[in-house]
Amino acid sequence: MGIKINLHKSPPAPPADDNYGFGTTFTPHMFMMEYSDGKWGEPSIEPYGNLSLDPAAKVLHYGQEIFEGMKAYTNPKDRSVHMFRPDMNIKRFNKSCARMCMPQVDEELFMEALHTLIDLDRDWTPESPSALYIRPTMIATQASLGVVAADKYLFYILIGPVGSYFAGGIKPLKLKVEEEFVRSAKGGVGFAKTGGNYAASLLPIKRAKDEGFDQIIWLDAESRLTVEEMGAMNIAFVYADKIITAPVGDTILNGVTRDSVGILCGDFGYNWIETPPIIKEICDDAESGKLLEAFACGTAAVVTPIGKIHYGGKEYTITGNTEGPVTNRLRETLCSIHTGNSEFHPEWVTKISTS
């Protein structure tokens, strides 16, 4: 099925500066496709604009919604544009669909939609380390207050230039271990990229930021003893002989950057171990100096150093609140891969085709 293109009659020009912020600037076009009567309708690219929803749309009442976070980058040498491992995001999107009782999207059509939309607005892709953020989304649009899965959906894709996720750029983060609230429990939807997971995090993250922290660390819901992930990204801890991170499961989002970091660790000879990090041991090891580094990783954060952790009423400093060499190497390698300028894993880079 071909993608119908309705061009914006008076498209705005890309921003003249690189002060994009994060997730507030969007390109002139968006991809859209509706589902009803058991099948997907005609896919199209339309001018960016507001959606029209019935007040009884199920997404507004029962949160039947999923999304993905992806990026495209500009190669500084030839100005080509590249996506990073989009196949993984597409598969994760459809896994979220299955958990949230929503129709899956054909992988080939999904990829074609990404290529077509990004190519159309490719001039909006900024210079690295900024990037073009990609937000595929699906919402339940059926007007009904019955607590059952909808029979009508809208799948759409937004794109727009973004700068650093953290306002201060790349600098060691100060984190608060969240000891009151939990993100997800076994048997829940923690592995799905659905809005409810993020809505539940707003209050604890706001409280943490009001107290001067950059983000929070989630503990497991059952024992509150082990680290699971951060507010919107995965987390890892670097020792002399190993790098540990929580194993993925039904309570943790299987991050694309997380997976990539694990593979790069193997390439570099680091011992990447997926085991539940015990928060007390992490803090004790930070205090003794046994813990050498810690970092956050995700599509938005890429690889960002962690300098301080607050837990149990006490603050623990890691690596003198500076970035360590392992964190730096992983980030620099990933950033080089993103733009198609690395010897490592060229198969992770998908070049945007031109019309």
Q: Please count the other Cβ atoms lying within 10 Å of the Cβ belonging to residue 159.
A: 27
Pairing of strands 215-219, 314-317: unpaired
pLDDT at 166: 59
- What's the token pair of residue 16? 């003249």
In tens digits, the chain (355 residues) has pLDDT values of 699 999 999 999 988 877 777 888 999 999 999 999 999 999 999 999 999 999 999 999 999 999 999 999 999 888 899 999 999 999 999 999 999 999 999 999 999 999 999 999 999 999 888 899 999 999 999 999 999 999 999 999 999 999 876 555 678 999 999 999 999 999 999 999 999 999 999 999 999 999 999 999 999 999 999 999 998 899 999 999 999 999 999 999 899 999 999 999 999 999 999 999 999 999 999 999 999 999 999 998 899 999 999 999 999 999 899 999 999 999 999 999 999 889 999 999 999 988 7
For position 168, what pLDDT does the model report? Answer: 59
Beta strands in 113-252 (DSSP E): 131-140, 153-162, 173-177, 215-219, 227-230, 234-238, 243-245
pLDDT at position 248 is 92
CA atoms within 13 A on the CB side of 225: 6
Domain residue ranges of the chain, discontinuous segments joined by +: 4-163, 173-333
pLDDT of residue 1: 62
Q: What is the DSSP letter of 321?
A: G
Is the backbone of residue 53 left (phi > 0), alpha (psi -120 to 50) or beta? beta
* Buried-exposed string 90-110: b where 16+ CB fall within 10 A, e elsewhere: bebbbbbbebbebbbbeeebb
Q: Can you tell me the distance from the alpha carbon of 200 to that of 197, in angstroms, rounded to the nearest whole number?
A: 5
CATH class of 4-163: alpha beta
Q: How far apart (Å, rounded) are the C-alpha atoms in residues 155 and 39? A: 12
**What is the CATH T-level fold of the domain 173-333, as seen in this structure?**
D-amino Acid Aminotransferase; Chain A, domain 2 (3.20.10)
**Cis peptide bond upstream of 276, omega within 30:** no
SS3 label, residue 273 = strand
For 298, the 3-state DSSP assignment is strand
Strands 131-140 and 70-74: antiparallel
